[in-house]
Amino acid sequence: DIQMTQSPASLSASLGETVTIECLASEDIYSNLAWYQQKPGKSPQLLIYDASSLQDGVPSRFSGSESGTQYSLEINSLQSEDAATYFCQQHHDYPFTFGSGTKLEIK
């Protein structure tokens, strides 16, 4: 199985700041990487797919990038509504696997 190592487990940032969340795949997943946002009591919402493509309706302050098997989610100009848990997921091969999540707190 492909392991997705996500970091950090949690972070706290102020309104307007920029944060970066990372996921390291245990093998090449050929950019088949998605990022999700999940708020308490809700289903995950797709933010980014294919490592850097923005899902329709997602604000442009969210962006994704990659370097080898390292994938990053950047959130610019943090807003209060960005407080959530973020997960990465490889959709390259079965079994699909997720990162362990990053809980983002807005100060």
Partner 1 sequence: EVQLQQSGAELGKPGTSVKLSCKVSGYNIRNTYMHWVNQRPGKGLEWIGRIDPANGNTIYAEKFKSKATLTADTSSNTAYMQLSQLKSDDTAIYFCAPLMYTTEPFAYWGQGTLVTVSS
What is the binding site for partner 1 (CB under 8 A)? 1, 32, 34, 36, 43-46, 49-50, 55, 87, 89, 91-101
Using the minimum distance from each CB to partner 1, give the nearer residue, 14 or 40: 40
Residue reference for tokens 């100060």: 107
Using the minimum distance from each CB to partner 1, give the nearer residue, 101 or 106: 101
The least distance separating partner 1 from the CB of residue 64, rounded to whole angstroms, comes to 11
The least distance separating partner 1 from the CB of residue 53, rounded to whole angstroms, comes to 9
Using the minimum distance from each CB to partner 1, give the nearer residue, 9 or 15: 9
d(CA 62, CA 20): 10
Q: Is 81 helix (H, G, I), strand (E, B) or coil?
A: helix
The least distance separating partner 1 from the CB of residue 55, rounded to whole angstroms, comes to 7
Give the pair of three-digit tokens for residue 22: 């990372």
Report DSSP state, residue 78.
-
CA atoms within 13 A on the CB side of 50: 3
